[in-house]
């Protein structure tokens, strides 16, 4: 009587992790995501560890989550994982107002972003 399980969107050798509300703009987050695309997982973790960007800490957590998903849920070898995709999307925007001179106000926008990291296990041929 329950629902049928959805078919998996990714191939058997790929796993993803998604963070839905990161408190930063999409352009800033994309700079960090670009720095890890295509790298081996250990190298990507090192890049994020020594990055000066504030949001790199949260991206590192998301990458750890993707690695854990690969290891625990899909029995993939973590030594042969590569970050195949890391992409960013926009999320909600908090709107605030700031008092200005002569009784006016200006709008302050505080954007949120979402991050998706897909890791792939490299085969023996690669």
* E strand intervals along 1-126: 14-22, 81-99, 105-121
Position 74 scores a pLDDT of 92
What is the pLDDT tens value at each position of the chain, 126 positions in all?
788 888 888 898 999 999 999 999 999 999 999 999 999 999 999 999 999 999 999 999 999 999 999 999 999 999 999 999 999 999 999 999 999 999 999 999 999 999 999 999 997 544
Name the residue among 5, 4, 10 with its Cα closest to residue 66: 10
Bridge partners (DSSP) listed for residue 98: 106
Position 123 scores a pLDDT of 77
User: Which domains, ranges and CATH numbers included, belong to the chain?
Assistant: 14-121 (3.90.470.10)
Name the residue among 99, 90, 28, 38 with its Cα closest to residue 59: 28
Name the residue among 110, 103, 120 with its Cα closest to residue 15: 120
Kind of pairing, strands 14-22 and 81-99? unpaired
Position 124 scores a pLDDT of 58
């Amino acid at each position: 009587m329950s629902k049928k399980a959805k078919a998996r969107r990714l191939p058997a050798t790929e796993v993803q992790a998604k963070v839905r509300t990161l408190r930063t703009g999409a352009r800033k987050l994309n700079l960090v995501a670009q720095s890890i695309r295509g790298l081996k997982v250990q190298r990507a973790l090192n890049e994020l560890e020594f990055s000066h960007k504030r949001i790199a800490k949260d991206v590192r957590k998301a990458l750890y989550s993707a690695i854990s998903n690969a290891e625990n849920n899909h029995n993939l070898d973590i030594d042969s994982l590569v970050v195949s995709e890391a992409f960013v999307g926009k999320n909600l925007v908090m709107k605030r107002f700031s008092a200005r001179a002569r009784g006016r106000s200006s709008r302050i926008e505080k954007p949120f972003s979402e991050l998706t990291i897909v890791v792939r296990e490299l085969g023996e041929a690669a």
